Amino acid sequence: MHQHVRRLGRRIAIGMAGGLLVVAGVILGPLPIVPGFPLILLGLGVLSLEFERPRIWLAALKAKGRMAAQRLARRRPPSGDG
């Protein structure tokens, strides 16, 4: 019984912390002082500790980030020393 309550408490705490980070990221997104996107990613990372759907979203965002980095790397002209 204690194990079940502990597990439920953990899920609730992770859900609240991750959700708060995501909401803060969305609210602070338009502000130039604190960029919201890193907070959203952090919130998804926290949520993915316990829930499957954020894990899927985070994996999709990582894949898109890798593809964008590869595209940028192909676009850059080689730097010359001379």
CA distance 30 to 79: 35
Residue 34 lies in a domain: yes
Contact status, residue 58 vs residue 44, Cβ threshold 8 Å: yes
Residue 46 lies in a domain: yes
pLDDT digits (tens, 9 = 90+) for 18-77: 999 999 999 988 887 778 888 888 999 999 988 899 889 889 988 998 998 888 888 876
Residue 66 lies in a domain: no
Global pTM reads 0.71
Q: How far apart are the first and last CA of the chain?
A: 71
How is residue 22 written in tokens? 């995501």
Given this model, what pLDDT does residue 15 score? Answer: 93
**What is the number of domains present in the chain?**
1
* Residue 20 belongs to domain spanning: 2-56
Other C-beta atoms within 10 Å of 10: how many? 12
